Amino acid sequence: MYFIVRVTASQEKITSDILQNKVAKGNTDIHAIIMPFGMRGYVIVEAASEISCRDLILNEPHVKGMLSKPLEEADLDKMLSAKQTAQEISVNDTVEFFVGPFKGYKAKVIKIDSGKEEITVELMDVAVPIPVTTKANMARIIQKANQG
């Protein structure tokens, strides 16, 4: 099972190193510690049970807590593939937002900023199409531009 652990922003690397050292020293049921790129303030722990994860993070510096609901493997795959998805988006692609304030909306990509991993889109099915800039990992491609 995967658990999301909240940590102090910009301290993800230090926190994961501390937790990894604790796992190496003790006899724990922790299988992996994942530090997903682009997820500031969070570390993912793969553990046999919630109790194992809670024991690991107890009284550790920079740890703020743990989300109560475990993460499904399919959700973890989506999170880890978000960066790859951002690189596949092209101008004129049609995307659909699956998180954030535009969840469920479809939009046409009009500009891509690879450095910031942002896309500028025009929302479809709205009265006035206004360009909106958002993170690329908040959307998934539903139709490539070259497929018409």
Instruction: Report pTM.
Output: 0.57
Question: Would you say residue 87 has pLDDT above 60?
Answer: no
pLDDT at 86: 54
Question: Would you say residue 69 has pLDDT above 70?
Answer: yes
Q: How confident is residue 116, by pLDDT bands cut at 50, 70 and 90?
A: confident
Q: How confident is residue 139, by pLDDT bands cut at 50, 70 and 90?
A: confident
pLDDT at 36: 78
Is the distance from CB of 23 to CB of 30 less than 8 angstroms? yes
Is pLDDT larger for residue 147 or for residue 50? 50
Helix (H) or strand (E) holding 86: helix 73-88
pLDDT tens string 20-62:
999 999 888 999 999 876 678 999 999 999 999 999 999 999 9
How far apart CA 75 and CA 8 sit, in angstroms, is 23
What are the residue ranges spanned by the domains of the chain?
Answer: 2-71, 84-147
DSSP three-state, residue 40: coil
Q: What are the distances in angstroms from CA 44 to CA 38, 51, 94, 130?
A: 13, 15, 31, 36
- Which CATH code for domain 2-71? 3.30.70.940
Q: What are the distances in angstroms from CA 55 to CA 27, 35, 44, 69, 141?
A: 12, 19, 15, 16, 40
CATH class of segment(s) 84-147: mainly beta
Question: Would you say residue 148 has pLDDT above 60?
Answer: no
Number of helical H runs and strand E runs in the chain: 3, 9
Question: Residue 54 — φ and ψ, nearest 5°?
Answer: -65, -40
Helix (H) or strand (E) holding 30: strand 30-34
